Structure 1
Amino acid sequence: MSEQPHLRSTRFRAEREADWQRLENLVALAEQSGIRSLTLVEAQSLAGLYRKAATGLSVARDISLDRSLRDYLESLVARAFLAVYAPRENVSGVVVRFFVSSGPRAMRECALSVAMAFFALFLGAILAYLLYLEDTAWFYTFIPGDLAGNRTPDASTETLRSTLFDGDISMAGQLGAFAAYLFSHNTRVALFAFALGVFACVPSFILTMYNGLILGAFFGLFAERGLGYELFGWLSIHGVTELSAIAIAAGGGFQMGRAVLFPGVLSRKDALRASARPAAKLAVIAALMLFVAGLLEGFARQLVQDTELRLLIGWGIGALWLAWFTLGGRRSSS
């Protein structure tokens, strides 16, 4: 009688061992080269053999076969499960898929939230511009002294002009460090706008609007001196990308905040979880755009002194971003 479990296990293994070996070979191939390396027949065989092995494991547990056989089957079934239902993708595949499809699709999915962020930005800019025209003292309310530098209502028109067209471009060696600083600073602003959105959108709205207030106060100052067009070009070369990045990061925060405020048929926890995935992709896009904006601000804005060329570069790059957001991933999603 003591040999019966052993004999039962031997017979059980003999009847199924060929299928297990085939499954093990297919799993090893999927683990080594990826699930996409399998042919259609091999993929179908993998799924069918996995189900048979899972059934065999259930039988082995029910009839109390020897422990070593059950351990082997548990390991094989677990590996096969990962190969069938959780295929691995290398880093390059994830990056390519993000740029080709998932990134722009997330932008389109969160279009309303991003529009809310742009509304907050432009609302602040318009409000500050109108208030400055009413009373120049508002400039000091919206803009800290260390940020304004010598660009204040007390500065002469020539001083303001010189801040837009600095002819000294011999400091190219320092521009890389400047670009790195801008990237770090703007990333912090964007991350705050993204992270605070979950609190019912209000903090992100205020932060994004405040960035607009700074922009509007500066534009009011320069426009009053007849330098509005020049400032527009000076800002465009990097601001189209930079301000869009901040608005997109805030849009990711708004997406999560809207899920908290309006969860629909889902619980707030489930709604927040569902919104977090596209929102996180917006944060990645914003970080990428801020990196590009840092390079543009640290290099191109100082090296390019022609206003029309600044406009062409800034809005040309903006058009490329817009084309990616609107057209990317449409073929693969159809």
Structure 2
Amino acid sequence: MDLDAYVVANAHEWARLEQLVRAGRLTGPQGDELVDRYQQVATHLSVIRTAAPDAEVVAYLSSLLGRARIKMLGARVLSWRAAGRFFTQQFPAALYRLRWWWLGTTTGSVVFTGVMMWWLVEHPQVEQSLLSPQEVDALVNHDFESYYSSSPAQDFASQVWINNAWVSALCIALGILGAPVFFLLWTNLSNLAVVGSIMTRHDRGDLFWGLILPHGLLELTAVFVAAGVGLRLFWSWVEPGGVSRAAALARAGRTAITCVLGLVAVLFVSGMIEGFVTPSPLPTWARVGIGILAELAFFAYVFVLGRQAAAAGHTGDISADLLEDRVATQS
């Protein structure tokens, strides 16, 4: 290959990528162009390394691609096309491919909570060791119900969204260690079981479920998904499956990041329900119905759209265009 002719033929592509990298904040179309130019230049680098490995040209293109990748991570946020791909392909595919991890976590958590709640109802002396009679009376007759209207709806929704997103992020971030995931689940589920058993034993079970179910179905499902993804992250380095532990962990970690970003949106929906629907004057059946519809919509999203995305080859990993230069710079 005539390297000089190749450089002349493609120099305008490199110059345009350089312009985009040096530009300020990019618009959506410019962000899309940045991704396209990145792929083109990565291909050029691969060709040069294979056919005419000139050290100066390779160094320049490698540096340009490195700077473009950093720029791209910010520019892609502004791309509606990238956002659409994320929510119709990457995120649902990740949820579908990891379904057995989070479905198993969900099943185990529901069984654990149910058994613990039943045991606490049958052993009222435990309640007496946890709360004083005055605290139980306040919880049953006032505190539990008033909690959901303790702040303006928009403020309350924001608070629970941030809190639940933080818990979910912790489940994934600490999942690499395994044990912290079970501790986080224990902390949240034991609190639910204790409050539920107290409300049930004092004949306020209808109030408890009427306030928990509207938002709790989707909210807890999101937490269980995060826990399952965290445990999968742990398992990726325990049993890497034919690749190095570093490669398996990196792949699982990238998919986990996809899940974190997607769950922020899921928890935003549950936060809106908790802030505006749960404390609303709607009849209980209507509030619970909204919660059930939101949960069914999530499962349809995973098992219809996610299944289709997975069948089309999407994995939930970072898009191939962001990994392209890793292949192109191999020797």
Query: TM-score normalised to the size of structure 1?
Result: 0.71
Task: Kindly report the root-mean-square deviation, in angstroms, between the aligned alpha carbons of the 2 structures.
Answer: 4.0
Partner of 1:7: none
Partner of 1:196: 174
Deviation at 1:100, TM superposition (A): 0.9
**8 A Cα contact 2:211 2:279, kept in partner:** no
Residues 137 and 203 of structure 1: CA distance in aligned 2, closer, same or farther (over 3 Å): farther
**8 A Cα contact 1:124 1:211, kept in partner:** no
Matched, 1:238 2:224: no
Deviation at 1:197, TM superposition (A): 1.9
Matched, 1:178 2:165: no
Residues 283 and 18 of structure 1: CA distance in aligned 2, closer, same or farther (over 3 Å): closer
Pick from 283, 295, 303: which aligns with 1:326? 303
Structure 2 distance, partners of 1:238, 1:132, is 24
Comparing 17-26 with 90-99, greater Cα deviation is found at 17-26
Where do residues 76-95 of structure 1 align in structure 2 (5 Å cutoff)? 78=62, 90-91=76-77, 92=79, 93-95=81-83
**8 A Cα contact 1:113 1:255, kept in partner:** yes
**Tell me, what secondary structure is at the counterpart of 1:305?**
coil
Residues 19 and 79 of structure 1: CA distance in aligned 2, closer, same or farther (over 3 Å): farther
Partner of 1:125: 113
Residues 155 and 256 of structure 1: CA distance in aligned 2, closer, same or farther (over 3 Å): same
**8 A Cα contact 2:45 2:62, kept in partner:** no
Structure 2 distance, partners of 1:198, 1:188, is 16
Structure 2 distance, partners of 1:289, 1:117, is 18
Deviation at 1:35, TM superposition (A): 7.5
**Tell me, what secondary structure is at the counterpart of 2:124?**
coil
Q: Look up the equivalent residue of 2:76 and give its one-letter code.
A: N
Deviations 1:260-297 (A, max 9, x none): 33233334333222221222222223322222222221
Partner of 2:47: 51
Structure 1 distance, partners of 2:115, 2:196, is 11
Structure 2 distance, partners of 1:290, 1:261, is 30
**8 A Cα contact 1:50 1:80, kept in partner:** no
Matched positions, count: 293
Comparing 243-252 with 129-138, greater Cα deviation is found at 129-138
Structure 2 distance, partners of 1:124, 1:77, is 55
Structure 1 distance, partners of 2:264, 2:161, is 9
Partner of 1:269: 246
Q: Look up the equivalent residue of 2:187 and give its one-letter code.
A: Y
Query: TM-score normalised to the size of structure 2?
Result: 0.71
Deviation at 1:198, TM superposition (A): 1.5
Structure 1 distance, partners of 2:131, 2:169, is 21
Q: Look up the equivalent residue of 2:169 and give its one-letter code.
A: L
**8 A Cα contact 2:49 2:58, kept in partner:** no
Q: Look up the equivalent residue of 2:87 and give its one-letter code.
A: F
Structure 2 distance, partners of 1:251, 1:54, is 42
**8 A Cα contact 1:252 1:279, kept in partner:** yes
Deviations 1:173-199 (A, max 9, x none): x22222222223223322332222221
Residues 284 and 21 of structure 1: CA distance in aligned 2, closer, same or farther (over 3 Å): same
Deviations 1:152-179 (A, max 9, x none): 2x4597x26x954x6x97x87x222222
Matched, 1:22 2:9: yes
Pick from 245, 254, 259: which aligns with 1:282? 259
Q: Percent identity?
A: 20
Structure 1 distance, partners of 2:262, 2:45, is 41
Q: Look up the equivalent residue of 1:297 and give its one-letter code.
A: E
Structure 2 distance, partners of 1:187, 1:103, is 16
Deviation at 1:102, TM superposition (A): 0.6
Partner of 2:25: none
Partner of 2:274: 297
**Tell me, what secondary structure is at the counterpart of 1:90?**
helix
Structure 2 distance, partners of 1:261, 1:16, is 46
Matched, 1:223 2:209: no
Structure 1 distance, partners of 2:185, 2:218, is 15
Residues 144 and 237 of structure 1: CA distance in aligned 2, closer, same or farther (over 3 Å): farther
Structure 1 distance, partners of 2:195, 2:7, is 72
Partner of 1:4: none
